[in-house]
Chains A and B, each alone.
Chain A
Amino acid sequence: MAGKRPPGLQAIVRFLIGISAPALAVGYASFYSIFPSATFPVTSDASAAWILLILLVAALVGGTVGENLREALLSSFVSIPVGFLVGIAMAYAPALAGLYLLEPSAVPFFIAHYSLFVLAMAFPINLVGAILGQLLRGRLRFEPSAGRVGP
């Protein structure tokens, strides 16, 4: 009993775990879409296919964490502004070494302006990912127990 967490706390932890993958994906995809030649993988122009793949996989995996569809959808939508903040933090990273590729005060506006495509795409992709993630969660949850049914 002592090791059990209260249901409210469990939901918060699940929520935070649920937003981690899609938020990191949105942050990375925003950053990559803005600086494709200075990030990883290095490309001359940002690859839309790569961005969509990253967003979809992360949304799908994030969608499997929620206990139900409502939780999964909430996590997937909250992950977008959190991911935006991750993208801003990435753009500020060189400042930790005293380097500035951009004027520090302009970074948030710069990231907001040039990551609009990624942020806009993240809404429908996270929605689809959350639904597919819940379907995947349902299959993974019930298939083992179905195997144990016997006489």
Chain B
Amino acid sequence: MAVLLALTLGFLGALSALSLSNFISVARVHASAQVDAKGAFSVLGGSADGRLPDGGTARLRLNVSVSNPSPRSLTFDTVIYKAWIEDGPREAGLNTSRSDVLVRDGTSSRWFYLTFSGSNTSSQASVPAHGTGVVPLVLDLRMAPDPLLFRGVQNITNFAVSRGMSPSTQVWSIFILTSLNIDGVPPPASFTAPLYLYDVVRIVLQFGVDYGR
């Protein structure tokens, strides 16, 4: 009977230890993964001086990267993005009619114009354990289908060029909200599963500030 008891305790101890190991590795993902975003703005089809013509394209390349120091790999699910361009003409008092957001930083105030917003669910890029994964996004803005938005960016870009600045030096405020699934942690299959189980199997990371709109 002592052998039976020892075997049972050993079996239960092993189950508990493996469970704890799994649980701690999942908790480590939740605690340690971080998101970063870098943007590069350019004008395609523009004039030699960098102005954005009516037939041109304003392009913002966003690299959304997630660093994952945990021992579990991740898979990108959804990337929600918003990008605001600093509204130079508004700050110079030339164009105050745009629906910008005011960002106060201490004593200074800056105006930003929402240029890109949307979501991406198609990348399914993976983030290896103890590594970094990147979702590259290429966001283009042309005259069609939103000429009003395009005119705003055109005005801002051309204003910067007229001040001797390159479009690539424009200041952007980027907001990212991304969710990633933790590999090896299946989502609940039952429709009656409690909601917290959905929070366990994935992580949601945020970069930047969402100014709304």
Binding site for B on A (CB under 8 A): 17, 20-21, 24-25, 27-28, 31-32, 35-40, 42-45, 54, 57-58, 61-62, 64-65, 90, 93-94, 97-101, 114, 137, 140
Asked if B117 is at the interface of the complex by the 8 Å CB criterion, the answer is: no
CB distance from A141 to the nearest CB of B (A): 9
Bound Cα distance from A38 to B23, whole angstroms: 5
Known: A100-B27, A101-B26. A21 touches B9 (CB 8 A): yes
Bound Cα distance from A20 to B6, whole angstroms: 10
Binding site for A on B (CB under 8 A): 1, 4-5, 8-9, 12-13, 15-16, 18-24, 26-28, 30-31, 184-190, 193-194, 197, 200-201
Bound Cα distance from A100 to B27, whole angstroms: 7
The 11 sampled A-B contact pairs (Cβ below 8 Å) are A24-B9, A24-B12, A28-B19, A31-B19, A38-B200, A39-B18, A42-B22, A42-B184, A44-B186, A44-B190, A45-B190
Bound Cα distance from A114 to B190, whole angstroms: 16
The one of B8, B185, B190, B193 in contact with A21, judged by C-beta atoms closer than 8 angstroms, is B8
The one of A42, A64, A99 in contact with B5, judged by C-beta atoms closer than 8 angstroms, is A64
- Considering only CB atoms, which chain A residue lies closest to B185 in the complex? A37
Bound Cα distance from A42 to B28, whole angstroms: 17
Contact A24 B13 (CB under 8 A): yes
Query: Which residues of A sit under 8 angstroms from B24, Cβ to Cβ?
Result: 93-94, 97, 99
The one of B8, B27, B186 in contact with A43, judged by C-beta atoms closer than 8 angstroms, is B186
Query: Which residues of A sit under 8 angstroms from B18, Cβ to Cβ?
Result: 39-40
Other than the known A42-B186, A44-B189, what 6 A-B pairs have Cβ atoms closer than 8 Å? A38-B22, A38-B26, A54-B15, A61-B4, A94-B28, A99-B24
CB distance from B12 to the nearest CB of A (A): 4
Contact B16 A24 (CB under 8 A): yes
Interface of A, secondary structure class, is helix
Contact A54 B188 (CB under 8 A): no
Known: A38-B23, A94-B27, A99-B30. A25 touches B12 (CB 8 A): yes
Query: Which residues of B sit under 8 angstroms from A20, Cβ to Cβ?
Result: 5, 9
Of B20, B23, B184, B201, the most chain A CB neighbours within 10 A belong to: B23
Contact A37 B5 (CB under 8 A): no
The one of A32, A38, A101, A137 in contact with B1, judged by C-beta atoms closer than 8 angstroms, is A137
Query: Which residues of B sit under 8 angstroms from A28, Cβ to Cβ?
Result: 12, 15-16, 19
Contact A101 B30 (CB under 8 A): yes
Contact A140 B1 (CB under 8 A): yes
CB distance from B203 to the nearest CB of A (A): 11
Bound Cα distance from A21 to B1, whole angstroms: 13
CB distance from B152 to the nearest CB of A (A): 44
Contact B31 A99 (CB under 8 A): yes
Contact A35 B23 (CB under 8 A): yes
CB distance from B116 to the nearest CB of A (A): 34
Bound Cα distance from A54 to B16, whole angstroms: 12
Contact A45 B31 (CB under 8 A): no
Q: Which 8 A-B pairs have the closest CB atoms?
A: A39-B19, A40-B18, A94-B27, A44-B186, A99-B27, A38-B26, A44-B189, A61-B8
Bound Cα distance from A37 to B197, whole angstroms: 8
